[in-house]
């Protein structure tokens, strides 16, 4: 009986693994370039940790289990709670700002669909202990720096940037009680995903006052910060939120990312822990889910038993990203092709042991080398070398037994040269 993979998971055969590794390597390079350090945590945590962050309803969205000691555990659906736990454990020993990144494997028990699987990889970057707009800008810059590096231009993607603090200032100024903001945020976060009439119906349930509802719809339609003055009267809280957002956008302009960025107050982010600047990156065509999202979460470490320390971060899954890169023709042409540097071929059956010795010595120099397990005729071995995309074929024949010489055949040009084996190996370095 053939056993298929579990629904919502992926098998990574070598070609798919090459794609995956290229994406992960790019995430690491972009992180290190911006001064982030890598961390990781366990694949499962105490279930209570996710309940603390997201409430009891999160249990239905997790792969949860009980261990032999009766403890309730869950396979991690995200790594931010792990980050909070780890930072809290060593909060007094860690120099600030804490700039960490991770590329964890995550699992969520949800319905698989385009761009969303039950098992996936995610790039997380976070800055803890810095409450200035510079940190928010650094997170967004590093995100866009990676997307630019893989060939996505402002014609392909856009970072839509808003602020929870700004939304709160506007909403409270039109009479929305602070106690109702979280429920309203959940509705506003759905706006880009719903037909207008469906959104209007949900908004009417939360905000029956037609004047307030109209102000909210007008706010959601703005495309510049300056237009906010036409929605509500200025106040101190609003002025602070606007200044904070302007600072972030100004820094991104100075760092050369202005063309990728736009103010979009419809970006709310569904999770309750966001407190300040929030953003999502979308494909310009709007055909896919958000490529990534993030923002400021100044209360999370405190909620996990630590001190009140500011933090901001971003998470990017590999599923939507891979779909977009493939659609744009940016994936396969950039993923490194499999290449074997050297293939050691046998032309003299009496020199068989030398094939193993030379292959091993090439490998000891840090170079890749292979040889034929079948050791048929030379033409078959050369064909096998070509099939493995070998760059150079090292042919061990009569010359090796007589003068310790081998033939180096360039598999691309067909050119050959006879060289002393020790001189050849010495050229490879140590």
- Whether 255 and 365 map to the same domain: the answer is no
- Whether 349 and 322 map to the same domain: the answer is no
Residue 71 lies in a domain: no
Residue 46 lies in a domain: no
Residue 6 lies in a domain: no
CATH for 318: 3.30.930.10
Q: Residue 108: pLDDT above 80?
A: yes
Beta bridge partners of 371: 344
- Whether 189 and 253 map to the same domain: the answer is yes
pLDDT, position 295: 95
Number of domains forming the structure of the chain? 2
CATH for 347: 3.40.50.800
pTM for the predicted model, two decimal places: 0.92
Residues belonging to the chain: 430
Q: Residue 72: pLDDT above 70?
A: yes
Last residue of a domain, one of 327, 360, 377: 327
**Burial class for 201, CB neighbours closer than 10 Å (0-12, 13-18, 19+):** exposed
Last residue of a domain, one of 294, 327, 360: 327
190 pLDDT tier (thresholds 50, 70, 90): confident
Find the domain containing 368 and state its range.
340-427
Residue 356 lies in a domain: yes
State pLDDT tens for residues 197-256: 898 899 998 889 899 989 999 998 888 898 988 888 888 989 999 999 999 999 999 999
What 68-75 contacts at long range (C-beta under 8 Å, 24+ apart), as own/partner pairs, is: 71/46, 72/46, 72/47, 72/48, 73/44, 73/45, 73/46, 73/47, 74/44, 74/45, 74/46, 74/47, 74/50, 75/43, 75/44, 75/107
Q: Give 396 or 179, the one with higher predicted confidence.
A: 396
pLDDT, position 179: 85
Q: Give 186 or 82, the one with higher predicted confidence.
A: 82
pLDDT, position 76: 95
- Whether 249 and 154 map to the same domain: the answer is yes
Residue 73 lies in a domain: no
Q: Residue 271: pLDDT above 80?
A: no
pLDDT, position 158: 98
List of E strands, 213-368: 261-263, 277-283, 292-296, 311-317, 340-346
The two structure tokens encoding residue 238: 């609003």
Residue 53 lies in a domain: no
The two structure tokens encoding residue 228: 């906010």
- Whether 255 and 145 map to the same domain: the answer is yes
pLDDT, position 122: 98
- Whether 171 and 258 map to the same domain: the answer is yes
- Whether 298 and 403 map to the same domain: the answer is no
d(CA 344, CA 388): 12
Q: Residue 1: pLDDT above 90?
A: no
């Amino acid at each position: 009986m053939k056993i298929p993979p579990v629904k919502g998971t992926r098998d990574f055969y070598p070609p798919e693994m090459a794609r995956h590794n290229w994406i992960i390597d790019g995430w690491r390079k972009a992180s290190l370039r911006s001064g982030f350090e890598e961390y990781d945590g366990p694949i499962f945590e105490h279930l209570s940790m996710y309940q603390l962050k997201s409430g009891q309803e999160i249990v239905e969205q997790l792969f949860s289990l009980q261990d032999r000691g009766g403890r309730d555990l869950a396979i991690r659906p995200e790594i931010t709670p792990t980050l909070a736990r780890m930072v809290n454990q060593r909060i007094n020993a860690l120099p600030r700002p804490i700039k960490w990144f991770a590329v964890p494997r995550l699992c969520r028990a949800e319905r698989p669909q385009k761009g969303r699987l039950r098992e996936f990889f995610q790039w997380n970057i976070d800055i803890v202990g810095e409450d200035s707009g510079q940190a928010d800008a650094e997170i967004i810059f590093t995100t866009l720096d990676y997307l630019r590096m893989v060939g996505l231009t402002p014609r392909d993607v856009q970072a839509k940037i808003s602020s929870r603090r700004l939304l709160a200032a506007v909403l409270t100024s039109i009479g929305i009680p602070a106690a109702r903001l979280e429920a309203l945020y959940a509705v506003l976060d759905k706006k880009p995903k719903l037909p207008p009439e469906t959104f209007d119906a949900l908004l009417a349930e939360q905000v029956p006052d037609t004047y307030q509802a109209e102000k909210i719809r007008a706010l959601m339609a703005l495309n510049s910060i300056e237009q906010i003055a036409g929605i509500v009267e200025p106040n101190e809280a609003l002025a602070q939120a606007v200044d904070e957002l302007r600072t972030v956008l100004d820094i991104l302009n100075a760092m050369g990312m202005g063309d990728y960025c736009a103010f979009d107050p419809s970006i709310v982010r569904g999770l309750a822990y966001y407190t300040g600047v929030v953003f999502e990156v979308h494909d310009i065509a709007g055909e896919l889910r958000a490529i990534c999202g993030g923002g400021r979460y100044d209360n999370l470490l405190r909620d996990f038993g630590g001190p009140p320390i500011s933090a901001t971060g971003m998470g990017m899954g590999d599923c939507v990203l891979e779909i977009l890169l493939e659609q744009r023709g940016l994936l396969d042409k950039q993923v490194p092709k499999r290449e074997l540097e050297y293939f050691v071929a046998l032309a003299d059956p009496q020199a068989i042991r030398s094939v193993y010795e030379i292959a091993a010595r090439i490998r000891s120099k840090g170079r890749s080398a292979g040889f034929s397990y079948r050791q048929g005729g030379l033409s078959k071995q050369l064909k096998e070398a070509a099939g493995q995309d070998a760059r150079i074929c090292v042919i061990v024949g009569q010359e090796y037994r007589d003068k310790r010489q081998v033939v180096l055949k360039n598999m691309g040009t067909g050119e050959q040269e006879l060289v002393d084996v020790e001189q050849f190996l010495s050229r490879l370095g140590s």
